[in-house]
Chain A
Amino acid sequence: MPLRLQRRLNPPLRDVVGCNRLVIDGQLTELDSLRYTPAGVPRMEMKLRHASTRDEAGTPRQVQCEIPALALGEAAQQAALLKLGQQVRAEGFLAQRSMRSMQLVMHIEKIILE
């Protein structure tokens, strides 16, 4: 199908105003090597393990989770300087892994050593 026609049938989502922001601290438990998309955009996949104490229903509680994350472009280059096991703070947004998978993946825009 020609590209233009395809777009008409499948219009890009209008910018829906809304908040999608995630800032999280964690330890790098998996760190793929730096790769590139077919267009040459740097790309890096990783996993962050978060552990902290939060207040919930008036009581402090322990929280643990592992977050799959993906960094593209500049963020991937920042991530490439990091090492497994390091404690980092990542900022970004959440997206579904793919059309077929409901799993959430954090898309990192900025990642720094804690």
Chain B
Amino acid sequence: MPIVRVALDVPLTTLFDYAVGHAVDALPGQRVLVPFGRKQMVGVVLEQVEDSALDAARIKPVVRVLDEAPLLPADVLELLRFCSEYYHYPLGAVVVAALPVRLRSAEPLARREAQRYALTPAGQALAMEQIPGRKIVQRRLLAALQQGVLTIAQLRALSPSAPAALQAMREAGWVEPCAVEAVPPGVVLRDAHTLNAEQQQAVDAVAQSSGYGCFLLHGITGSGKTEIYMHLMHRVLQRGGQVLLLVPEINLTPQLESYFSSRFPDVELASLHSGLAEGVRAQNWLRAQSGQARIVLGTRLAVFAPLPQLKLIIVDEEHDASFKQQDGLRYSARDVAIFRANQRRLPIVLGSATPSLESYHNARSGRYRLLQLTGRAHAAARLPDVRCINTSHSILHHGISEQLLAAIQQRLQRGEQSLMFINRRGYAPVLMCTACGWLSGCARCAGKLVLHLQDRRLRCHHCGYQTRVPHACPDCGNADLQPVGIGTQRVEEVLQERFPEARILRVDRDSTRNKGTWNAMRQQIKDEVVDILVGTQMLAKGHDFPGLTLVGVLNPDGALYSSDFRASEKLYAQLAQVAGRAGRAEQPGEVLIQTAFPDHLLFRALREHDYAAYAQVLLDERQSAGFPPFVYQAMLRAEGKQEAEVYAFLQQAREAAVALALPVEVYGVVPAAMPRRANHTRAQILVQCDARRMLQQFLQAWCPQLEALPARKLRWSVDVDPLDF
């Protein structure tokens, strides 16, 4: 009797055996509906075998095969197997997580073709003048359709009101839906810029490579990395290949999507990220899977999308921490993408202005090829002038120095925009009683409650707890409680007081909570109806604001005290990125950093725009301290309500690790950076080794032992290549 081994989304590391009838074919990659306990579950067939180790009587039959053909091709299954083994996470959970939610249910889902539109003979005979001049959108659609068939997405990229105009044109009998062409004849790259010498070299290096090759594209902000992506993609698309482009932020994908569709008007593009409605995401995934969508643009989860014609992978902003998933399968999409490129023998390009030290180290040691862009693409654009304001020598007005205020004043007079960057939302990070020393601590966490003045509440940014601001100090009764430190709301208030005429916009998680607000805000900034922006890292990433000429950085010093050894690397990347917002078009930009340590090497490197020098300093530090990328790490984290239980579990885990007597370094059980969160005690063990293979061998032996330890009331996880400490 044929047996299939099925991956199910259950927290067990095994596959499950089911019987299939002789007449039915269940191939690896196909979804099946199977009985599991008292219910039925959707799983994916991973193997077909002749015999099962189980007693034939205990093997239940598959209820139904859900797909006509395998949904997940062999290469994706192999990729998922690798992830399960490398990240030590149950294979079933990995496989099911790779499917869009909608495809994890047995409900049939029809593939919806992207609707395409063409001109009718009447429409072709139409002259532009026959459409009244005030119907701008209709004229624009007509002009576009005269060039060829277009999808609704492409039409929408021309104007947000395209659907209404299209409807009117259909009613007039000028436009009709048409059948999909399989592969468009040629691929046009619109508005292709002439590349400068460095850009051309980078394109040639990738284009001339054959088989697997990993390229680190290191280019300062504004050096035209995107244009290189365009040219590389163009080459691949012309040959009928698919391109996978991974980007860090969901917020950026709609913008990028319309940008790419406008540059490649006759190529189908599908985006994949968690911000999409489930139905849309499933349809996009299916279009990627069928090979119909030839550009797949997505966040980390897109790395698992099946792409039969995949010929090129690009990871933009490869250093970004959001490529690492922080729960469940703790994978790094960048690393998985590299594995995938190697598996499919194709080139992968990692792009960044501030590469992660891991990638940079690999590039310099020859494992990756380093491609450098040292000039800005816009010949007129200069790098911003970066200066430090020494906060130990200047008087701060609610955290803002006079020099910075004067610089803002200047921009206001010239009608240019300023951006104040502060990585802390709320009004003040803590509320204090200066009479007795009471601080607004969170009752459930080790952190402090942050003051949000607008709604007069104290909020915990770790567990979500919130409460009204107390009328008086709970310890001594003093009503004169003081906010300590600054957050975005306070900066906004202080600047508004100082510049009552200025139009100030605050951009943080609180002010952009409602869907669509951030997009509307971005438009406001573009339209230059905003004078001063106050915002968190949300503003740092990839946005182009041409009117912005001043960036002020408030309070970056916290990261210099951090216990996380990557804190300074992250700070450099963040500040370089936010500094890059200043003066991208014709006007030169200025960046003022308020710090008590203006002589710190980090700030010196920022002033000189010298990533390489600072990366060298950090790499030397890491090497002498024995930190990544010179060692490989894994972290066992545990949390639970009972402190004793958490520590007992970790202690046992540690003893088991030591007993394995493998050449890995097993550190002691220590509290996590946030030792208590939401009434849970959190602690961890770090394991490291200078050989990845040995670390894996250790984990292979250790993880099954962890499974066997008593841990009824706690949660634990193994994080391979952890990013957060």
Partner of A99, one of B437, B451, B468, B483: B437
A2 to B479, CA, bound (A): 20
A100 to B438, CA, bound (A): 13
| Contact (Cβ within 8 A) A41 B479 | yes
Give me 21 A-to-B residue pairs in the complex whose CB atoms sit less than 8 angstroms apart, sorted by A's number. Answer: A2-B441, A2-B443, A4-B443, A6-B475, A7-B475, A10-B436, A10-B437, A12-B477, A37-B481, A38-B431, A38-B456, A38-B481, A39-B456, A39-B468, A39-B472, A40-B456, A41-B471, A43-B480, A96-B435, A97-B434, A98-B434
A43 CB contacts on chain B under 8 angstroms = 480
B475 CB contacts on chain A under 8 angstroms = 6-7, 10, 12
A10 CB contacts on chain B under 8 angstroms = 436-438, 475
The B402-451 residues at the A interface (CB cut-off 8 A) are 427, 431, 434-438, 441, 443-444, 451
| Contact (Cβ within 8 A) B474 A7 | yes
- Shortest C-beta distance, A15 to chain B (Å), equals 11
Query: How many chain A residues touch B (Cβ–Cβ < 8 Å)?
Result: 24
| Contact (Cβ within 8 A) A39 B469 | yes
B456 CB contacts on chain A under 8 angstroms = 38-40
A13 located at the interface, meaning its Cβ lies under 8 Å from any Cβ of chain B in the complex = yes
A6 CB contacts on chain B under 8 angstroms = 438, 441, 475
Known contacts A40-B456, A99-B435: does B479 contact A3 (CB below 8 Å)? no
User: Contact string, A1-36, partner B, CB cutoff 8 A, digits 1/0?
Assistant: 111101100101100000000000000000000000
User: Contact string, B450-483, partner A, CB cutoff 8 A, digits 1/0?
Assistant: 0101001000000000001111101111011101
| Contact (Cβ within 8 A) B479 A72 | yes
| Contact (Cβ within 8 A) B481 A39 | yes
A88 located at the interface, meaning its Cβ lies under 8 Å from any Cβ of chain B in the complex = no
Majority DSSP secondary structure for residues of B touching A: loop
Given contacts A3-B441, A37-B480, 7 further A-B contacts (CB under 8 A): A6-B441, A12-B477, A38-B456, A39-B479, A39-B481, A41-B471, A95-B435
| Contact (Cβ within 8 A) A39 B476 | no
- Shortest C-beta distance, A10 to chain B (Å), equals 6
A70 located at the interface, meaning its Cβ lies under 8 Å from any Cβ of chain B in the complex = yes
How many residues of B sit at the interface, in one of the four size bands? 20 to 34
B477 CB contacts on chain A under 8 angstroms = 12
B444 CB contacts on chain A under 8 angstroms = 2
Known contacts A1-B441, A6-B438: does B483 contact A38 (CB below 8 Å)? yes
| Contact (Cβ within 8 A) A98 B453 | no
| Contact (Cβ within 8 A) A98 B476 | no
B451 CB contacts on chain A under 8 angstroms = 38
B435 CB contacts on chain A under 8 angstroms = 95-96, 98-99
A99 to B437, CA, bound (A): 7
A68 located at the interface, meaning its Cβ lies under 8 Å from any Cβ of chain B in the complex = no
B479 CB contacts on chain A under 8 angstroms = 37, 39, 41, 72-73
Partner of B469, one of A38, A95, A97: A38
Closest-by-CB residue of B relative to A100 is B434
Closest-by-CB residue of A relative to B442 is A2
A10 to B444, CA, bound (A): 19
- Shortest C-beta distance, A43 to chain B (Å), equals 7
A6 to B443, CA, bound (A): 10
User: What are the 7 tightest A-B residue pairs by CB atom distance, in nearest-first order?
Assistant: A98-B434, A39-B469, A2-B443, A38-B469, A39-B471, A72-B479, A41-B479
B441 CB contacts on chain A under 8 angstroms = 1-3, 6
Known contacts A39-B479, A39-B481, A43-B480: does B436 contact A99 (CB below 8 Å)? yes
B474 CB contacts on chain A under 8 angstroms = 3, 7
A12 to B443, CA, bound (A): 18
User: Contact string, B671-706, partner A, CB cutoff 8 A, digits 1/0?
Assistant: 000000000000000000000000000000000000
A100 to B474, CA, bound (A): 20
A40 to B279, CA, bound (A): 47
B471 CB contacts on chain A under 8 angstroms = 39, 41
The A73-111 residues at the B interface (CB cut-off 8 A) are 73, 95-100
